[in-house]
Chains A and B, each alone.
Chain A
Amino acid sequence: MAKLDSRIPPGPLAEKWRRHKAEIKLVNPANKRKYEVIVVGAGLAGSSAAATLGELGYKVRCFVFHDSPRRAHSIAAQGGINAAKNYQNDGDSVYRLFYDTVKGGDYRSREANVHRLAEVSVNIIDQCAAQGVPFAREYGGLLANRSFGGAQVSRTFYARGQTGQQLLLGAYSALSRTVGQGLVQLHAQEEMCDLVVIGGQAKGIITRNLVTGKVSRWAADAVILATGGYGNVFNLSTYARGSNATAIWRAYKRGACFANPCYTQIHPTCIPVSGDYQSKLTLMSESLRNDGRIWVPKRKEDCKKDPATIAEEDRDYYLERIYPSFGNLAPRDISSRAAKRVCDEGRGVGDSGLGVYLDFSDAIKRLGEDTVRERYGNLFDIYHEITNENAYRTPMRIYPAVHYTMGGLWVDYNLMSNLPGLFVLGEANFSDHGANRLGASALMQGLADGYFVVPYTVGDYLASQKPGSRPSTDAPEFKQAEDNVTSIITRLLGAKGTHPVSHFHKRLGHIMWQYCGMARTREGLETALKEIPKLREEFWATVKVPGSADTLNQSLEVAGRVADFLELGELMCRDALTREESCGCHFREEYQHPDGECKRDDANFAHVAAWEYQGAGTDPLRNVEPLVYEAIKMSMRNYK
């Protein structure tokens, strides 16, 4: 059984990080270049970490499966990034951001980590502004803010509707600088396929070059995974098509614990599905909820009518009605479920009946079309491109879609997994968002981890490793891991199948959405736990992967990722089944208050469930890390 020591430093909450930094071990500058650190991933978390570690003097290698670090999925984030700057003088503070995040996560996150996140949030904005990130400004030239779901202060910094892009380009520019200076070696289109563990410590990785197919071994003194979220288990999601779980999943199979896999966030404002050919769901930034009003017709009969013909009194602005103080800005999980509920009642709009209106006519009246265009123009454009509809004239139709995974590899306060030497950052870890992430907090967390946390804590770990003690890639563990990778490839190419990979991915997606989506039941999860292994068997028996292993072979890439999703999906359902409560995004229909809100069970489930792999065919082990709240009193989330 894995030892889960969260290594939370002692002392008062607000002092922990400062003290920890002061007491942490340092690496002698002359020794730094003797340590080699592998960073897998160059999204916000990975590129900020690689750039900073390179700058500090470590020998850094950065691997991405993309053709350039700038393509990481962080690029797609639209709405903004939170920071407790209180530039708006509206009463924000580190404590308030910390509190909102813990509360938003429905008291299922680790208090000390969240507090640190709120503390360093202010440094992130400084860092990014200094890098030239073109944040939105007020007329005086100072930074502008907007408000975002789950908060009553305006603390979200943004760059039009392209905040993720601009932050990533900032981190990418820092990374590019260190690559240009030779401090970081960049390995693009090189996919991590396995983790090498020697003597219980992470000491290297195995990669496959996606262009040449070459499988290589890389040794290091520490390995950092910043490979993003795994929401593509659902097939249709707001993730980029390439986002995958392979790196963390294969690390899991090498002994790293996977925490809270079932916590997946369903984003309330996405463009509804329009046909089965669809490959991706597009998010309409949540910031739209600042000025847009969400409604459905009061009567089922009105659903197919032109919305303009539905009288004001026949509209149900259900979020404003049920949650008067937060209204359209209620947290994501609450908004999503509310949408599902009204659609289940038969009041959904659009051809499929799976949609609600997001209406800007009031905002246009109040602010004028120009202001609305200035704030949301690019989102309206995206909407128009996809649906061919003009949202300035007719309300948008939105529906929830899978958007973020709060679960991930288990890490301690230092962001190190239970495998010493393996660090996990960004969306790939589990630590900061509990059972639900607030809007504009993922970007914050990715950059906090990469710029301000891991550069210290990796040093602390490396200081305990003898310089030059890095194993050679000839070690048997490397060979074993490489053989594992090649055998997976051979098996995939060897299956003389009848179905393309997409067939299985779609079917897995259906199972997951149906049974492990917005609302879950014991019965449904048990069904899923029967269906997924069957589907997996079918996959290995009948998948058809054309081409060879020694060229660019996109079918092979996808097949490997879907193979991992087919295992991870099962773990998610298992986690959802064993968490017999509702919390945040994990909504078990059996556990709800009469008004449909989550019914947490703090007595039995105020803990992190960290799953430990026990080998193929054996049930994984469920370890728990209790969550202790010192500064905050757990209470029922109330956004009314």
Chain B
Amino acid sequence: MVAGVSKNNISVTLRVWRQAGPGKPGGFVDYPAKNVNSNMSILELLDVVNDELTLKGEEPIAFAHDCREGICGTCSLMIDGKPHGPNQGVASCQTYMRSFEDGAVIVIEPFRAAPFPIVKDLVSDRSAFDRIQQAGGFITVRTGAAPDANSIPVPKADAELAMDAAACIGCGACVAACKNRSAVLFVAAKVSHLGLMPQGQPERDSRVLAMVNTADELGFGSCTNQGECSAACPKLISHDFIVRLNRDYLSASFRSAFCAHAAGSHAD
């Protein structure tokens, strides 16, 4: 057993959403793919289909991708109704054809949400996430003004939990999977990561208020505690962070009303 991988080839049909541009009408087009090596990723299959389309003089399918190793968060295919495809905890670029049956019809769509308008074909514009981040997803520290790193001990358990949250790759699968198109798992991951660190305490209240309110303004929906987001998350970010977000948001709101200089001055 040198390489326990199957070399089976399969044939599938890709049913791909094609849309020429923002606001343009779109529809599904079928692309049969024969003799597909099952160790190919679905993005690699799209590469092959695109080269064939190019030679036929048709426009290739636009799809977002970059690192192709599940870390940059660029790839964003809705595959058979689940963001990133049938497997748990992987991004589209890590979805291999061995996950599909021979003869399957694979429906590929872009991530859809009103705050993620379609740019073209399978590409949607997720810059709304950047705007949420700009609203408060940071710890204010001037370059050069930091104390020695070991002067701020962080309990290991907190650091680990913060890292669990920080593993978010910002792909938007949570939004795409949520029936309400809520960005709450994304926001919760950011807020929890920074809120779990002692460094993040001074801005903890203002951060959570700003980020949630910005997500609302951008038109994302609300959470109904169904967990579709974390089930679709390529990093399996836990739904529990949303609970933490709710707690932070509510306590920040109450503190801002009842404590004299509350906003931004709390540490616990």
Contact = CB atoms under 8 A, between A and B. Distances in A.
Contact of A173 (B62, B64, B138, B144): B138
Contacts of B119: 211, 552
Contacts of A179: 130, 134
Given A211-B119, A304-B2, A385-B90, A130 B147 contact: yes
B3 A351 contact: yes
B47 A279 contact: yes
Interface string A146-170: 0000000000000110100110010
A640 B215 CA distance: 57
Contacts of B60: 546-547, 554-555
Interface residues of A, number: 92
B114 interface: no
A188 B127 contact: yes
B224 interface: no
B127 A67 contact: yes
Contacts of A69: 130
Given A68-B126, A134-B193, A177-B134, A387 B142 contact: no
Contacts of A52: 143
Nearest to A307: B2
Contacts of B199: 129-132
A429 B152 CA distance: 34
Contacts of B48: 277
Contacts, number: 249
Interface string B164-176: 0011011000000
A87 B130 CA distance: 35
Interface string B130-156: 100111111111111111111011111
A278 B44 contact: yes
Contacts of B39: 274-275, 388
A499 B167 CA distance: 40
A546 B54 contact: yes
A142 B37 CA distance: 48
B54 A134 contact: no
B82 to A, nearest CB: 17
Contact of B159 (A134, A275, A277): A134
Interface string A276-307: 01111011000000000000000000001111
Interface string A71-94: 101011000000001010000000
Given A76-B71, A350-B2, A502-B51, A139 B197 contact: no
A176 B54 contact: no
A165 B64 CA distance: 19
Interface in B151-197: 152-156, 159-160, 162-163, 166-167, 169-170, 193-194, 197
A100 to B, nearest CB: 21
Interface string A165-192: 1100100111011011000001010000
A135 B59 CA distance: 45
Nearest to A73: B67
A219 to B, nearest CB: 25
Interface residues of B, number: 87
B149 A125 contact: yes
A582 to B, nearest CB: 31
Contacts of B74: 66-67, 71
Given A130-B152, A305-B2, A551-B21, A280 B135 contact: no
Given A176-B130, A552-B119, A141 B156 contact: yes
Contacts of A304: 2
B68 A241 contact: yes
B260 interface: no
A140 interface: yes
Contacts of B267: none
Interface in B202-259: none
Contacts of B1: 306, 394
Interface in A477-522: 498-500, 502-503
A387 B3 contact: yes
Contacts of B62: 552, 554
Contact of A140 (B20, B47, B153, B197): B153
26 contacts: A55-B142, A67-B74, A67-B126, A68-B129, A130-B149, A132-B139, A134-B160, A141-B155, A173-B133, A173-B139, A174-B138, A186-B130, A275-B37, A277-B44, A277-B48, A279-B44, A279-B47, A280-B68, A307-B2, A351-B3, A388-B39, A389-B5, A500-B51, A547-B59, A554-B60, A555-B50
Given A132-B199, A242-B66, 20 more contacts: A48-B143, A68-B130, A73-B72, A129-B149, A165-B166, A174-B141, A188-B130, A241-B66, A277-B44, A304-B2, A307-B2, A350-B3, A385-B96, A388-B96, A452-B143, A498-B55, A544-B55, A554-B60, A554-B62, A555-B60
Chain A to chain B: the 3 pairs with minimum beta-carbon distance, closest first: A141-B153, A180-B134, A130-B146
